[in-house]
Amino acid sequence: MRGHRARITLNLQNDWNEVATRLRTKTKQNRAETERRLIESALDLIRRNGVLAGLNLRQVADGAGVNRGNIYHYFGSRRELVRTAIARRFERVIDSLLDGRRRTRFVERRLRTFRVADSIQDSQFRALLVIDGDETVDPMPRFEDALNALQQDVKEGDIHEGHDLEALQVALSALSRGYRIFRKPFATRVKAKADDLDERVARILLTWLEVMAEPPAPQRRNPQPTRDQ
């Protein structure tokens, strides 16, 4: 009799464990789906209204078909929602670009990066976080990977070993991100079509990139002010 009861108890415990496991799995799936809908809703609103128009959390929740409280439950704040959306979208696009792509030499690779349209508005989104006061924004995601690539470029002779690779990566990032943010205003200012300006700037960039194979110029000392000054 006791053995029979023990078997029943064990079976009930196993059944409960299975139910609990299914519930936890379903909860995780529901959470992931809700997070995905909230992220897509936020990105869609920013694309339609512009990065500086602000992000209305009620509209984000309505677009995702959930209660606004879910945003605070899953992300904690509007800023964290935007940060998560940027990170996930950036990684997804970069992975698709790198998938199966052969390694290219320094000049070709950087020109290609410059010409790739910022369809996900990554630079604008990160600028939005900076304007919002976020001091944790990563202005150069995958910085270590980029630095490793530059070190390989040095070995291949495309960059002279005397150049500061960290400063070079910062300068290249500043050019590409700054240009993407102000591309249309730049074109309007110089009375040019944006596509035409892309090629003009790319030619300047080409000259810059090719010069990197040469040793850096001697550092100039700032002239000391005279008494007359």
Give the tens place of pLDDT for each residue, 36-81.
888 888 878 777 776 556 677 888 888 888 888 888 888 888 778 8
Q: By CB neighbour count within 10 A (0-12 exposed, 13-18 middle, 19+ buried), where does 189 fall?
A: exposed
pTM over 0.75: no
Last residue of a domain, one of 76, 98, 121: 76
208, part of any domain: yes
Last residue of a domain, one of 36, 52, 76: 76
Are 40 and 64 within 8 A, CB to CB?
Answer: yes
Query: Is the domain of 117 the same as that of 192?
Result: yes
228, part of any domain: no
227, part of any domain: no
Quote the CA–CA distance of 106 and 108 in Å, as a whole number.
6
Quote the CA–CA distance of 214 and 17 in Å, as a whole number.
67
Torsion of CA 169, 173, 176, 177, to 10 degrees: 180
96, part of any domain: yes
Report how many domains make up the chain: 2
Cβ neighbours for 155, distance < 8 A, ≥ 6 positions apart: none
Query: Is the domain of 5 the same as that of 113?
Result: no
Query: Is the domain of 134 the same as that of 160?
Result: yes
pLDDT at 6: 56
Mean predicted confidence (pLDDT) in 106-122: 83
Calculate the alpha carbon distances from 82 to 33, 74, 95, 205 in Å. 17, 12, 20, 31
Query: Is the domain of 99 the same as that of 202?
Result: yes
225, part of any domain: no
pLDDT at 90: 67
Residue 69 or residue 204, greater confidence: 204
Query: Is the domain of 144 the same as that of 171?
Result: yes
Query: Is the domain of 110 the same as that of 188?
Result: yes
Q: Which of 10-14, 54-58, 110-114 has the lowest mean pLDDT?
A: 10-14
Q: Which of 23-27, 139-143, 163-167, 216-220 has the lowest mean pLDDT?
A: 23-27
Query: Is the domain of 34 the same as that of 134?
Result: no
162, part of any domain: yes
104, part of any domain: yes
Query: Is the domain of 90 the same as that of 197?
Result: yes
3-state secondary structure of 123: helix
Query: Is the domain of 58 the same as that of 105?
Result: no
Q: What domain range includes position 20?
A: 1-76
Query: Is the domain of 118 the same as that of 170?
Result: yes
Query: Is the domain of 48 the same as that of 102?
Result: no
Query: Is the domain of 120 the same as that of 157?
Result: yes
Q: What mean pLDDT, rounded, does the chain reach?
A: 80
14, part of any domain: yes
Last residue of a domain, one of 23, 56, 76: 76
